[in-house]
Structure 1
Amino acid sequence: MSPMSRRSPVLCDACAHFRQRVNGDSRTTADRYIAYCSAFSEAIPRSISPGGYDHRRPYPGDNGIMFEMKDGKEKILALYEKITPEDRRNRVAPDATEAVE
């Protein structure tokens, strides 16, 4: 993968709960995988990934499960904090009806 095609890291990339599964309905490389986790078993809400919401804070529908650092991912967390604007990370979480997109 060339440096120009890499996406920016999101908080999920450093999270112990993060998982991906193959998207059988994929039509492009951009949607080849579905990101999910312990908090969001169907799919991570887009306002978290790739939206940048900081899930170290509660989010509607997360059942109290939030970001937990995965061993060895400290540099990814630092990069997320560096490149994701603070106002984007710390915006107000949507209400429960907006949480699942």
Structure 2
Amino acid sequence: MAAESDAIVLDDSVLDDIFFSPVCTKCMHLHFTADMKHTCDAFPDGIPEEIWKGDNDHTKPYSGDNGLLFEVVE
């Protein structure tokens, strides 16, 4: 058994950021950037966390969305 000082501690804080959005990944307006910033035509300054994490499917107007809604990539 490992001593407490030898224990492995995982830093799960990096898991707070979702790499692939259940909503945005399927949207034609999403921008893929080298710096992994979540942006799109509707939210050029950053996609709201509520939408990125899938709590809002952005099929209805959302404040600041520039009049653009979710559209499936074809």
Please classify the TM superposition score into its range, dividing by the shorter chain length.
0.5 to 0.7
**C-alpha displacement of 1:67:** 0.5
Instruction: Give the gaps of 5 or more residues in structure 2.
Output: 1-14
Aligned positions, number:
58
* Identical aligned residues as a percent: 34
1:48 matched to 2:51: yes
- AA at the equivalent of 1:21: T
1:67 matched to 2:67: no
The answer on whether the counterparts of 1:58 and 1:66 sit within 8 Å (CA) in structure 2 is yes
TM-score scaled by structure 2? 0.66
Rg (Cα) greater in structure: 2
Q: 1:14 to 1:61 in 2, by over 3 A?
A: same
Deviations 1:15-42 (A, max 9, x none): 000112233xxxxxxxxx1110000001
